[in-house]
Amino acid sequence: MSASEANGETASPLEQFLAAKTRVQRQYQHHLDRITPFVAERWIGTAVALAVFELRIVFAQGWYIDAHAIYLLNLLLAFLQPRFDPSLQDDIMADELEGGGEDSARSPLPSSRDDEFRPFVRRLPEWQFWLSTTRATTICIFLTFSTIFDVPVYWPILVLYFCVLFVLTMRRQLQHMIKYRYVPWDWGRKTRYGGKQSH
């Protein structure tokens, strides 16, 4: 019961709308919180949504895919990148050394030279990567039902553009990973504290 209803007044349409919006947001957040621990199931659901989107494009014979693919590529790159870019850290350290400052700045990425454990912190966490991918795919599925967004283009050029963009950006990302010696995943590198390190 709202404050205006408690005083015997009826709620204005704006107050009713805001109360309904708050209720929907809480329910939405509740459902998101419930599915958070189920990583594999979440990604399987997203893969199904992507398959539905692809099938929708094939059956509608539309031209919807390129912007969605480029957006997903940007999300993937943010997921693979460290939160604190070591190249910027190197620039800061070089400026401090030129300015006569101490070499106190350390790379935020884990390195074999360090004894201290420092985990890899992503620029885009897995949860946000999944949520953004799922939202974008769901929105795109609904957009395919409108002819306004079906802009005819010469699709081989767009596919070639996406392939070249993917190869160039992933190559640059791999070079960055090799140069600063980090790996954005921990498969096969689990360590138990107080025990021997697994190889």
Q: Does 185 fall in a domain? A: no
Cα–Cα distance list, 123 to 83, 102, 145, 184, 187 (Å): 4, 27, 34, 10, 19
Mean pLDDT of 145-161: 79
User: What are 26-60's pLDDT values in tens digits?
Assistant: 999 998 889 889 989 999 999 999 999 988 888 87
Structure token digits, residue 11: 């709620």
Q: Does 50 fall in a domain? A: yes
- For 33, the 3-state DSSP assignment is helix
All residues at 6 or more sequence positions from 138 whose CB lies less than 8 Å from its CB, including other chains: 49
| Residue 177 CB-density burial (10 A; 0-12 exposed, 13-18 middle, 19+ buried) | middle
Q: Does 88 fall in a domain? A: no
Q: Does 186 fall in a domain? A: no
pLDDT at 149 over 50: yes
User: What are 72-113's pLDDT values in tens digits?
Assistant: 999 999 998 888 777 666 656 665 666 555 444 455 555 555
Averaged confidence pLDDT in the chain: 77
Residue 109: predicted pLDDT: 56
Q: Does 191 fall in a domain? A: no
Range of the domain at 159: 13-81+122-179
Task: Record the pTM.
Answer: 0.68
- Report the number of distinct structural domains present in the chain: 1
Q: Does 110 fall in a domain? A: no
Residue 146: pLDDT band (50, 70, 90) is confident
- Residue in this structure with the two tokens 């190889």, named with its chain if needed: 199
Q: DSSP labels for 132-174?
A: HHHHHHHHHHHHTT-GGG-----HHHHHHHHHHHHHHHHHHHH
Query: CB–CB of 63/153 below 8 Å?
Result: yes
